[in-house]
Amino acid sequence: MLKYSLVGYDGSASSKQAFRFALEWARASGGRVRVVSVVQVTEGSADTCALMITDSGAKRCTALLDELREMAPGAEALIDAEVVRGSPGDALLDQVRRHGIDHIVIGHTERGALARWLLGSVSGEVLQRAHVPVTVVR
């Protein structure tokens, strides 16, 4: 039975739906949910990026936990949350290795072919590279 689910969370409707799905799964299976929000920094020097992430990381994590508590009152004991930096696909897959995740739940945002080609698809990357079961919520 899958006991520790990872949710990639960006505040979108699909990531909220993925969180709700994972939480219901955890309640039914006696498991837990790890919610990870990935900050992708693409501009600026390494020093600027490090300073920005350090200054806002704790605030972002607090805001994330507040948002999750609002969506799922009383479920705090089932939820771990973290804000990390990096490429979303890489960061989520790193969480699997580091935290013993045995299931990934990710939302799917419909994009056109051009946007998918230019920007990539986090759900597609995770599906392609994950070594644990992945549920894509639409």
What CATH number has the domain bearing residue 14? 3.40.50.620
Which is more confidently placed, 40 or 133?
133
Beta-strand (E) ranges in 25-114?
32-39, 79-85, 103-107
Structure tokens at 23: 């939480």
Q: Would the pLDDT of 131 be above 90?
A: yes
- Predicted confidence band of residue 53 (pLDDT cuts 50, 70, 90): low
Name, in order, each residue with C-beta under 8 angstroms of 135's C-beta and a sequence gap of 6 or more: 18, 21, 103, 104, 105, 106
Q: What is the mean pLDDT of residues 64-85?
A: 94
pLDDT in tens, 78-123: 999 999 988 889 999 999 999 999 999 998 766 555 444 444 578 8
Domain that holds residue 114: 4-137
pLDDT at 119: 41
- Predicted confidence band of residue 124 (pLDDT cuts 50, 70, 90): confident
Number of domains in the chain: 1
pLDDT at 115: 42
Mean pLDDT of the chain: 84
Q: Would the pLDDT of 71 be above 50?
A: yes
The structure tokens 């990872």 sit at 6
